Structure 1
Amino acid sequence: MAYRSLFLSLRRNSGFISTNSHHHQSRCLLNRARFVSSGAVSTDFVESDDDLRSRILRLRLPKRSATNILHKWVLEGNSVTVSELRDIAKELRRSQRYKHALEISEWMITHEEHGLSDSDYAMRIDLMTKVFGIDAAERYFEALPVAAKTSETYTALLHSYAGAKMTEKAEELYQRIKDSNLSFDALTYNEMMTLYMSVGQVEKVPSVVEELKQRNVSPDIFTYNLWISSCAATLNIDEVRRILDEMSHGADSNESWTRYLNLANVYVTASRLDNSSSNSLAETEKRITQSQWITYDFLIILYAGLGSKDKLDQIWNSLRMTKQKMINRNYSCIISAYLMLGHVKEVVRLLISGRTQL
């Protein structure tokens, strides 16, 4: 009835008369009314936004097909560029619309004129993991031609294993990585270190760092964060001090690393984080950037290692007051810290009140 009322209103306002010559136009208006009333688009929809990106982003329901939109776009005589498809796929991934992003990826593969890069294959592995599961991503990787089995695709599959905490699978793939003649950066090793930290096998982290160094790969700040955190988990203060000294003499040291070192040294100097130091550090930093959050994640991990729930509460409350938007990693860090201390109620409260993206 609502559709009929809206249609009659449109008909009256536009001076329609019930004739065959206007039948097609009235049906189009009725379809538009249904589309608007369904919530698929806002009431201020205009045709001037009718480009490929807009058409695909208007597909809110996963069951709707981005492939059909692409086919129709091409049949209308429009062109499609690989850079445009990549940008759309990235935007869909950021919005967690993985099924539509995967369809864009599939289009790029089935149309050979769009040459795929290593990053395109890696993205597809990640999307297949999210949409169809790791088994599908694994089969896709194994079926890739040798030339497409690059450091990026290996790392993408390793990331999938690590995210699912599939230690055995990850270690098998990691061995293949080490046996290959490919060059890998710190990200690949960080994936293994993250896995070991997440499953509680912190004793394996230093060996990954050693392998990284043997292959002349430069560790990044995340490598050091994971390495130091593994030592902090066992309260190995001497090793933490040695790592910090190595960082301070590293060729890649920069302002963010200096900040990290200063925070970590608070822990090392007294072998315990006292009350005065952390409050001032957290509360005075109101303009920190996302790249600098790693230092505060680290501080939270250290307090968890010391069993200090009060300090966790204080730092977390201070950081929530900053202007920087928190992401999954920040929430994962504080949740892991509370779980380490056995404070399940705090985790539940954080999930409810914070409405995290986990």
Structure 2
Amino acid sequence: MAARLIFLGLRRRSRNCNPSRFLSAGAASSEYAEQTPSGFEGDDLRSRIFRLRLPKRSATHVIERWVGEGNRLSISELRDISKELRKSQRYKHALEISEWMLTDKEFELSDSDYATRIDLMTKVFGIDAAERYFEDLPLSAKTSETYTALLHSYAGARLTEKAEELYERIKGSNLSFTAVTYNEMMTLYISVGQVEKVSSIVEDLKRQKVAPDVFTYNLWISSCAATLNVDEVRRILSEMSSDSCSDDAWGRYIKLVNVYITANRLVNAESSSPIEAGKGISQREWITYDFLVILYAGLGNKEKIDQIWNSLRMTKQKMMSRNFVCILSSYLMLGHWKEVGEVIDQWKQSSTTDFDTSACNRLLSTLADVGLADKANDFHKLLIQRNCFATDE
């Protein structure tokens, strides 16, 4: 789960990827699906490219034809189309657009363009190709954005040694980096189970006087929770509270973490040993996913919470009361009562863990303690409606 890259601007050319080496500069007209006559409603460049249903069909050919018909073409339009293609996971066509931008002498490329290209090359041709492309860039194009893009590729593939080598180069450069770069290393260490290394990345970030963002704090807290270091979690929350950049989202996140660790007591009989429980997700990783859910709840992103929860429920890993407390507290905080009811039903129907009335009572008490008495009352009514008997102990 990693953080999203944000990039800004410069133009340089690369020697590494000639269009003729990797991408088709043209294609037979039969490869262009459902060609639309010029002037027809919806006959714009974006529509033509998105009608290319198969990756083997050439976006380059579509652009050439568009220009050949006398239409104007701007770099901002190409960037927008490329962004939509990436969202749709149509990486090959997006890379072809990147190739066109690179070879057209009229366009001034930005750092973002080069960094995006590294990410696309990783997805289409693999990390080796992206690595060669980065190394062949002129020094002036080896910016914080392109360094971070390559680091993102290494982290995504869990190539720890390569990532660490690049990270040392980053630290030895005179470039300025944002929290995004450090977040990539933290994400990598958590994903490979080396959570003890996360604190050293936080120290590097602070040493360079880089402002942490909410993702930095989430990763840091996750690493501490994965080792059941509740005292350190509370210390980090205190630091977050005094951060000058703290906003409403951070406030929700801090409150949610407090609800979670208090209602769940992190260290309990069923989660005190962070070891693998058969094949699947380790207990440390479960706690990390819990905090990812809490992060998106703090940011108010219900769609992400739904995606993570549905994905976790599809694994073969044993669900615990901790996981249900996490998702319940997140939906409660955002006021999604339909989902709260569904999670209660899922918990009651679970074949791996019994419905924990005492955990629900702790959650009720904690909600009231942090100033969410109304939500606690509504939650209590919902539990009674579903015959959960969450009465005071």
Is the TM-score greater than 0.5? yes
For residue 50 of structure 1, report the CA deviation from its aligned partner. Answer: 1.1
From 199, 213, 235, give the equivalent of 2:192. Answer: 199
Matching residue's letter, 1:193? M
Secondary structure of the structure 2 residue equivalent to 1:192 = helix
Kept in 2, the 8 Å contact 1:228–1:243? The answer is: yes
From 286, 298, 301, give the equivalent of 1:290. Answer: 301
Kept in 1, the 8 Å contact 2:264–2:325? The answer is: no
Task: Give, in whole Å, the separation in 2 of the partners of 1:128 and 1:312.
Answer: 37
Matching residue's letter, 1:312? N
Task: Give, in whole Å, the separation in 2 of the partners of 1:136 and 1:199.
Answer: 24
1:219 aligns with 2:212: yes
From 154, 159, 163, give the equivalent of 2:152. Answer: 159
1:251 aligns with 2:216: no
Equivalence for 1:238? 231
For residue 75 of structure 1, report the CA deviation from its aligned partner. Answer: 1.3
Equivalence for 1:139? 132
Q: 1:287 to 1:214 in 2, by over 3 A?
A: closer
Task: Give, in whole Å, the separation in 2 of the partners of 1:192 and 1:136.
Answer: 21
Matching residue's letter, 1:185? T
Q: How does 1:337-356 map to 2 (within 5 A)?
A: none
For residue 291 of structure 1, report the CA deviation from its aligned partner. Answer: 8.4
Q: Which of the two has greater helix per residue? A: 1
Kept in 2, the 8 Å contact 1:287–1:323? The answer is: no
Residue by residue, what CA displacement relative to the aligned partner does 1:230-282 show, whole Å, maximum 9, x if unpaired? 000111111111111111111011101111111111244467069xxxxxxx9
TM-score with structure 1 length normalisation?
0.68
Structure 2 residues without counterparts, runs of 5 or longer: 1-29, 268-292, 313-317, 337-351, 353-393
Q: 1:204 to 1:291 in 2, by over 3 A?
A: farther
RMSD: 3.7
From 229, 248, 255, give the equivalent of 2:222. Answer: 229
Q: How does 1:176-191 map to 2 (within 5 A)?
A: 176-191=169-184
Task: Give, in whole Å, the separation in 2 of the partners of 1:48 and 1:267.
Answer: 53
Matching residue's letter, 1:240? V
Secondary structure of the structure 1 residue equivalent to 2:41 = helix
Matching residue's letter, 1:289? G
Equivalence for 1:170? 163
Kept in 2, the 8 Å contact 1:237–1:271? The answer is: no
Secondary structure of the structure 1 residue equivalent to 2:197 = helix
Number of residues paired by the alignment? 273
Task: Give, in whole Å, the separation in 1 of the partners of 2:239 and 2:222.
Answer: 15
Task: Give, in whole Å, the separation in 2 of the partners of 1:65 and 1:308.
Answer: 46
Q: How does 1:297-316 map to 2 (within 5 A)?
A: 309-313=320-324, 316=327
Structure 1 residues without counterparts, runs of 5 or longer: 1-33, 275-281, 302-306, 325-342, 344-358
1:101 aligns with 2:100: no
Larger radius of gyration: 1
